[in-house]
Amino acid sequence: MKRSRPQLLVTALLFAAVAQASAQTSSSAPSIGQQAQATPATRTVFIKMDDISYGQKSIDVKPGETVRLVLKNEGALMHEFNIGKAVSQLEHQREMAALFKDGTLTPTGKATSIVWRERSGLGDSNPPGIPEVVQAIHDDPNAILVEPGTTKEFVWTFHDTANLNFACTLPGHYQAGMVGEFVMR
């Protein structure tokens, strides 16, 4: 019997599905907001990322406001900007840890990794199996990865959400204090 889908990809897709599901769940009262398109009138907030912190601990936003968040990573490590509640961010930490374990995410960026697939059902035990190149899938609607030395933009429409955070869920970063709060004013 042939395994048609790489397990890792399936796992990553599952993670994406879970993220999607939790985004949808939380979008029903109260939503955390959603990605949007910037217009010339959109307010821009500059956020510096460093090892291991954000340039600010809080960002003021108005409910309903669309904000262009410009993320400049001045550190030597990759960082994430993840908009959400603490619960989902802690969940996302586990997904990130899994990607690091696979080798498809490294402290400085995305990477390809080779996973050896088992040969099955052929009585062919010729080790180590079939090589397969895998890549990390990180396309959560509420998060973006910023590689060291790069600047990325993220445009978000905020709703009136209490306890909404921005955080980096790379292993150890959240614990090191790489988390801040959106303050609704």
Taking the least distance from each CB to Cu ion, the nearer of 8 and 174 is: 174
CB of 171 to Cu ion, least distance (A): 9
CB of 142 to Cu ion, least distance (A): 16
CB of 7 to Cu ion, least distance (A): 28
Contacts 24+ apart (CB under 8 A), 96-104: 96/169, 96/170, 96/171, 97/171, 98/11, 98/15, 99/12, 99/136, 99/138, 100/170, 100/171, 102/8, 102/134, 102/136, 104/8, 104/134, 104/135, 104/136
**Using CB under 5 A as the criterion, which residues of the chain lie in contact with Cu ion when the complex forms?**
79, 168, 170, 173, 178
Taking the least distance from each CB to Cu ion, the nearer of 156 and 166 is: 166
Taking the least distance from each CB to Cu ion, the nearer of 143 and 164 is: 143
